[in-house]
Amino acid sequence: MTNREILKILREIAAFFEMEGVSFKPQAYEAAALGIETYAREAEEIYKTGGTDALMEIPGVGKGIAGHIEELFKKGSFKEYRDFKRKYPIDVLGLVAIEGVGPKMVKLLWEKLRVRAVNDLEKAARAGKIRALERFGEKSEQKILKGIEFLKQSGGRQALGFALAEIRSLEKMIQLFPEVARALVAGSVRRRKETIGDIDILAASKRPARVMEQFLKLPFIAHVYAKGTTKTLVKLKNGLDADLRVVPKESWGAALNYFTGSKEHNIALREIAIQKGWKLNEYGLFKGEKMIAGRTEEEVYEKLGLRYIEPEMRENMGEIKAAQENKLPRLIGYSDIQGDLQMQTDWTDGENSIEEMARAAMSAGLRYIAITDHTKSLAMTGGADEKKLLRQMEAIDKINRKYKDLKFKVLKGAEVNIMKNGTLDIEDDVLKKLDVAGAAAHSHFTLSRAEQTKRIIRAMENPNVDIIFHLTTRVIHKRGPIELDIDEIIKAARRTNTVLEIDAYPDRLDIKDEYVRKCVDAGVKMAIDSDAHSVNHFKYLEMGIGQARRGWATRGDIINAHPLKEMLKFLKER
Ligand code: DGT
Ligand code: CA
Ligand code: CA
Ligand code: ZN
Closest ligand 1 atom to the C-alpha of 260? 18
Reported as a single tens digit per residue, the pLDDT across 106-139 is: 999 999 999 999 999 999 999 999 998 878 888 8
| Residue of 462, 411, 417 whose CA lies nearest to 434 | 411
Which parts of the chain sit beneath pLDDT 50? Answer: none
CA of 439 to the centre of ligand 4 (A): 8
Helix, strand or coil, per DSSP, at residue 327 = coil
Residue of the CA atom closest to atom 24 of ligand 1: 263
What's the first-to-final CA gap in the chain, in angstroms? 52
H/E stretch holding 413 reads strand 409-417
CA of 552 to the centre of ligand 3 (A): 25
**Alpha carbon 186 to chain centroid, angstroms:** 18
Contact between residue 87 and residue 61 where contact means Cβ atoms under 8 Å apart: no
Closest ligand 1 atom to the C-alpha of 262? 18
Residues flanking ligand 1, CB < 6 Å: 187-188, 193, 196-198, 200, 258-259, 261-263, 266-267
> What pLDDT does residue 149 have?
83
> In angstroms, how far apart are the furthest CA atoms of the chain?
76
pTM of the prediction?
Answer: 0.82
> What pLDDT does residue 236 have?
87
H/E stretch holding 491 reads helix 486-496
Of the ligands numbered here, which is closest to the C-alpha atom of 187? 1
Of the ligands numbered here, which is closest to the C-alpha atom of 160? 1
* Structural domains of the chain sorted by starting position, each given as residue range(s) with its CATH number in brackets: 3-152 (1.10.150.110), 158-324 (3.30.460.10), 339-569 (3.20.20.140)
Residues shown for the chain: 574
DSSP letter, residue 482 = P
Reported as a single tens digit per residue, the pLDDT across 292-324 is: 999 999 999 999 999 999 999 999 999 999 999
Residue type at 397 in one-letter notation: D
Q: What is 349-375 written as a DSSP string?
A: T-SS-HHHHHHHHHHTT-SEEEE--BB
* Ligand 1 binding pocket mutation candidate from 266, 267, 269 (most atoms within 8 A of CB): 266
Distances (CA, A) of 129 to 95, 124, 125, 508: 17, 5, 6, 33
> What pLDDT does residue 478 have?
84
* Ligand 1 binding pocket mutation candidate from 200, 231, 240 (most atoms within 8 A of CB): 200
| Residue of 380, 450, 461, 476 whose CA lies nearest to 418 | 461
Residue of the CA atom closest to atom 15 of ligand 1: 259
Burial of residue 437 (CB within 10 Å: 0-12, 13-18, 19+) is buried
What is the Cα–Cα distance from 46 to 377, expressed in whole angstroms? 42
